[in-house]
Structure 1
Amino acid sequence: MNAADAVAEALPDRSVRRVDPVQRGNHKRTYLVTLDDGEVVVQLSTRPAAFRTELALARAVRERTSVPTPAILAEESYEGGRYAVVERASGDDLHERFAGLPLPIRETVARSFGRWLAACHEAFRFDGYGDVRLTDGELRATDADWRAWFGEHLDAGLAALPPSLSDLREPVETALADADLPERPPARLYPWDFRPGNAVYDDDHGVTAVLDWGEPLAADPALSVAKADHLICAWYGDAEPLRAAFRDGYAAERPLPSVPRIYRLAAVVRSAVDSNGEVTRPGYPERTGSAAVDFHRDRLAALLAGAADGF
């Protein structure tokens, strides 16, 4: 199956003029397909069960919240995988645009992300924690022990840290041992990659789409607040005004949860290494090499030293 075949099968009355690969994500092949009368995005996945969950969540977010989410025009299985044809949102990759926008516009974007995350927390409630899966037509999470799940979640991130950051594992483990974790906090949607790098921005309309709802989790809402704050605010600079805007946006929809330091540490640890085991590249232009390592180290060191970050 290729992108042109997917469009021909899903939209037989449309003609394909051009297919361009898009560098997005690690588990799907994504293409921008130009038709006679517009453009669509085609995604091909060889992990059909996970992709069905992602698409079901994307549809539900579009239906239940104000988060701008592209319509899924078609989805179907093929031998060895599943494809989706999705509407094309107008605009550019926000990751490449965000740092260059005037601060008041970045604050508006951060405020919107806060509002949208709060909307997701209101719209999606679960009986358990951990991986969210589409089961019998319902999005469900079934891990019953929050403290055990969170400890495993943080431990997995610590195990993935490269040698250049490995000296920070022990102090973070000590912080976890000393943390007073809630026994059974509310379980809300934890969109794993909720950040400007998965959004599309148009100068006339602002953020036109939030993309990539893959690998969703259910967690204490304060944990996803911590990670979104890190990826939206600290990641690109001007953290304090962006953080204030993000918090204001969230609080406009629902009360802002108290975020313990161990959740902020987990957010940094789980953002420091990608699914391929590579150190992530903060900001834009992206930091690489030692500059990227220094960003993650400085952030963890500040939190270990007791930085409050406004929460």
Structure 2
Amino acid sequence: MVGETVDRIVADALEAEVRSRYRPRSGSVAETVVCRLETGDGDGDEPPSRVVCKRGGASVWTGDVIEPLVLEYMTAATDLPVPRVLASGSFADGSNDPLERWAIYEFREGANPGPRYHKLEPTVRRRLVADAGELLGRLHGTSALAFDRVGGLARGADDRSLRLREPDGWHAVDPGWPLTRVPVPLAGDEDCRPVLTHGDYQPSNLLVDDDGAVTAVLDWGNAHVTHAEYALARAEARFVDVYAGRLPRAERKQLQELFRRTYANCAPLETGFDRRAPVYKLLWVAQSGANYLRIAREPRGRRQLRTQVRRLVE
């Protein structure tokens, strides 16, 4: 999605001319282009000076492009720092092909800390982790985002609403049945609170300022509903555990405690999470492997995996 296609989408949706465009160095699996517009500073009815245009980005859980709907839902229900949806649509009305769908988002200032996360100054990294834990807690602690069961998110029949779809197979949306076979002191009903969660909450999907304060949470295309503690453990693994060997053990322990403490300031954290977290994390590794195998069986899934691998290499 480059050149004339982007220009036409922006011109039709925002009545603005694209002056220049570039691809972000890291980020979404969707085809993503940052556009600098000819006029406007974001005041009044004028378009902003920069916008982000995306095409595709199907959810790995349901195959639907849900990010515009999730962000509209988030903007209405929370004050979390997420991009506003400026416009969305499709190239062909009624098409079920994810690549036919596009959306234009607000451009948020900040740097992507993912590629240099382990090289940040410790004080900057602590601020980032503190903010990340608080934001995840605010997400999981918002009553308007509570659900009665887990599942993937798909488009409703009207194409403008979200519906919850039952999990299909054993994957990282639902850890329920393995945990029901674990003794009660390790896992109980109070630990399985269904919440809307990001789906890929990690440093590479944040923007931060020079001090490490989070300015935006990006790439909600794989958002889904899962158990709160499971989502917390998965996120903790992405901010702390995967950096074993790159960060000193003592610092990882401090970051883990900080992440949990700031999360617990905004959402319930049941006693004994420290005993359950390793089980959740092992389960996440196993389920993620099984999920990648399932995705790789489909052409769409193989395209997404190739895109992810290419971005990792870059």
With normalisation by structure 1, the TM-score equals 0.71
CA distance in 2, matches of 1:202, 1:224: 25
Q: CA deviation at 1:34?
A: 1.3
CA distance in 2, matches of 1:11, 1:229: 39
Name the counterpart of 2:149.
128
Alignment of 1:1-311 (within 5 A): 2-12=5-15, 14-22=16-24, 23-26=26-29, 28-37=30-39, 38-45=49-56, 47=58, 53-79=66-92, 80=95, 81-123=100-142, 124-135=145-156, 138-143=161-166, 152-153=170-171, 179-180=182-183, 182=188, 185-203=192-210, 206-236=213-243, 237=247, 238-257=251-270, 258-259=272-273, 260=276, 261-270=278-287, 276=302
Change (3 A) 1:98 1:155: closer
Q: CA deviation at 1:265?
A: 0.9
Q: How many pairs does the alignment contain?
A: 260
Q: CA RMSD in A?
A: 3.5
CA contact (8 A) 2:150 2:174 kept: no
CA contact (8 A) 2:132 2:214 kept: no
Q: CA deviation at 1:266?
A: 2.0
CA distance in 1, matches of 2:268, 2:169: 26
Change (3 A) 1:56 1:227: same
Q: CA deviation at 1:155?
A: 11
CA contact (8 A) 1:73 1:85 kept: yes
CA contact (8 A) 1:72 1:85 kept: yes
SS in 2 for 1:197: helix
CA distance in 2, matches of 1:70, 1:155: 24
Q: CA deviation at 1:150?
A: 10
CA contact (8 A) 2:146 2:195 kept: yes
SS in 2 for 1:92: coil
Change (3 A) 1:216 1:155: closer
Deviates more, 1:183-192 or 1:214-223: 183-192
CA distance in 1, matches of 2:57, 2:125: 36
SS in 2 for 1:266: helix
With normalisation by structure 2, the TM-score equals 0.71
Structure 1 runs (4+) deviating above 4 angstroms are: 46-52, 154-157, 175-178, 181-184, 270-278
CA contact (8 A) 2:110 2:207 kept: yes
CA contact (8 A) 2:20 2:36 kept: yes
Q: CA deviation at 1:267?
A: 2.6
**Unaligned segments of structure 2, at least 5 residues:** 40-48, 296-301
SS in 2 for 1:113: helix
Deviates more, 1:236-245 or 1:68-77: 236-245
